[in-house]
Amino acid sequence: MIKFEKVNFTYQAGTPFASRALFDIDMEIKNGSYTAVIGHTGSGKSTLMQHLNGLVKPTEGSVTVDDIVIINDSKAKAIKPVRKKVGVVFQFPEAQLFEETVLKDVAFGPQNFGISEADATETAKEKLKLVGLPEELWERSPFELSGGQMRRVAIAGILAMNPEVLVLDEPTAGLDPKARIEMMELFESIHASGQTVVLVTHLMDDVANYADQVYLIEKGHVISSGNPHDVFQKVDFLKAHELGVPKATEFAVQLQKRGIEFKKLPITRAELVMVLSSMKNQENENGNGQSTSLRGGLLR
Ligand code: ADP
Ligand code: MG
């Protein structure tokens, strides 16, 4: 489990350029969970993600990963096991690539943790297949690839280390819809195999469809957290903070304005369909076409 306790973080602390990015963050990521982090650009999400594997250390407070406690003066050596446990795919993956070829790049991580070159190369091939990077690109320089392909290489490089926790900072930004769905399904299958996933995203539908826990970040503060079903009931709160809601929730809110009642707002398309079809069944059982004509009209 990963636990943040009163984490504060200031860039260039103690200099005239000091700028505070995180304020008293408390957060818990349970083993096997799928946690989404949402918030506007500049709210501190990437800074928060870099705390997950000790890439940056809290200015104040602590981050505990299983039995390792990271505080401001923790030494690199004490943090190294965390790097193996928690794999972070950065928001700008090109920053993460550096080897001559794609294959070498992906094989670098496991080799760095003591795996033989031959085994690391095997693992690299397996992960490149998994992320769907065509084989003819494996011997190319990673810097010749498109942005989307580079991101796949960076993800394969992290998966090759077989981390217990996979952290993805806006991994689907800029991908076309088909590639985005493929990638989200890949993360879902990784999660289903028991890995913990932490996803930074702008897309409320991805939160609704995949996550079991969500944190809303605003200006370096956690402003809400919980199960997506509960968090997305607070439509007015979310709108007041200029955060959207899933499409299904928005649709249900519009229906609500026309007099259709929902005990609980649906957050996914499947839930919306289920609630609406159960209403329609109810209506058929009642044999009443008059008073529910609006409902009937909308459902047909
Ligand atoms: P997000 O990922 O939510 O867009 P970031 O964590 O990147 O937010 O940024 C949070 C705040 O920290 C922003 O005000 C940003 O300008 C600032 N910031 C980010 N990186 C640095 C840095 N390397 N040095 C100084 N300030 C930074
Ligand atoms: Mg960011």
Burial of 291: CB neighbours in 10 Å, binned 0-12, 13-18, 19+? exposed
Atom of ligand 1 nearest to the CA of 49: 6
Nearest to 198 by CA among 70, 56, 57, 27: 27
Rounded distance between C-alpha atoms, residue 261 and residue 43, angstroms: 35
Span 205-219, pLDDT tens digits = 999 999 999 999 999
Rounded Cα distance, 37 and 51, in Å: 14
* Beta bridge mates, 193: none
How far, in Å, from the CA of 280 to the mean position of ligand 1? 49
- Average pLDDT estimate for 111-131: 95
Assess whether pLDDT exceeds 60 at residue 294. no
- How does the average pLDDT of the chain come out, rounded? 92
Burial of 118 (0-12, 13-18, 19+ CB in 10 A): exposed
- Mean pLDDT computed over 142-151: 90
| Res 136: pLDDT | 97
Helix (H, G, I), strand (E, B) or coil at 95: helix
For residue 41, the ligand 1 atom closest to its alpha carbon is: 4
Kindly give the distance from the C-alpha atom of residue 186 to the centroid of ligand 1, in angstroms, as a whole number. 28
Look at residue 221 in the predicted model and tell me its pLDDT. Answer: 98
pTM of the model: 0.92
CA distance readout (Å), 9 to 14, 71, 244? 12, 11, 27
Residue pair 125/104 in contact (Cβ under 8 Å)? The answer is: no
Contact 228, 36 (CB under 8 A): yes
Residue 9: per-residue pLDDT: 98
Q: What residue ranges line ligand 1, CB within 6 angstroms?
A: 11, 19, 21, 39, 41-47
Catalytic residue annotation = 170
Q: How far is the CA of 39 from the centre of ligand 2 (A)?
A: 9
Residues with Cβ within 5 Å of ion ligand 2? 45-46, 91
Hey, how many other C-beta atoms are within 10 angstroms of the C-beta on 225? Answer: 17
